[in-house]
Homo-oligomer: A and B are copies of this chain.
Amino acid sequence: MVQYSETRLDASFAALSDATRRGVLEQLGRGDASITQLAGQFRMTLTGMKKHIGLLERAALVTTEKAGRVRTCRLGVRALEEEAAWIGRHRELWNARFDALDKIVEQLKSKEKADARRTKR
């Protein structure tokens, strides 16, 4: 059975909970970028953007590399694998449960109709 690292999931879902950071991920999906570029694009100070990048990095959703003065940010290689897995696993379980509930509701409904017919007579 797959073992999910709780803290890793904590960090990455937290990272995804901010619109700016989701935007950054979207942007990095279109190509690597420096911190200055990202800061400019999201109208934010360098320092502010660096904090966001720090969180994304901690969650292993992006990696960075410094060449000269410039730190280049790119998507993490296994970005969103575990997160998708967690959500997928639970959706399956829950959908199964919702289906079961639907069936019960259906049964109740048809039973109701039957009862109604019986009382009419």
By secondary structure, the A interface counts as helix
Hey, what's the 0/1 contact readout for A23-40 against B, CB within 8 Å counting as 1? Answer: 001100110000000000
Copies in the complex: 2
A87 interface hit (Cβ, 8 Å): yes
Total interface residues in chain A, CB < 8 Å? 31
Residues from chain B with a CB closer than 8 A to the CB of A42 are none
**CB-nearest residue of chain B relative to A85?**
B87
Interface residues of A in 35-78 (CB under 8 A from B): 75, 77
Q: Complex formed: what's the CA distance from A93 to B6 in Å? A: 26
Residue of B nearest to A76 (CB): B94
Task: Knowing A6-B19, A10-B17, A17-B13 are in contact, say whether A84-B88 is a contact too (CB < 8 A).
Answer: yes
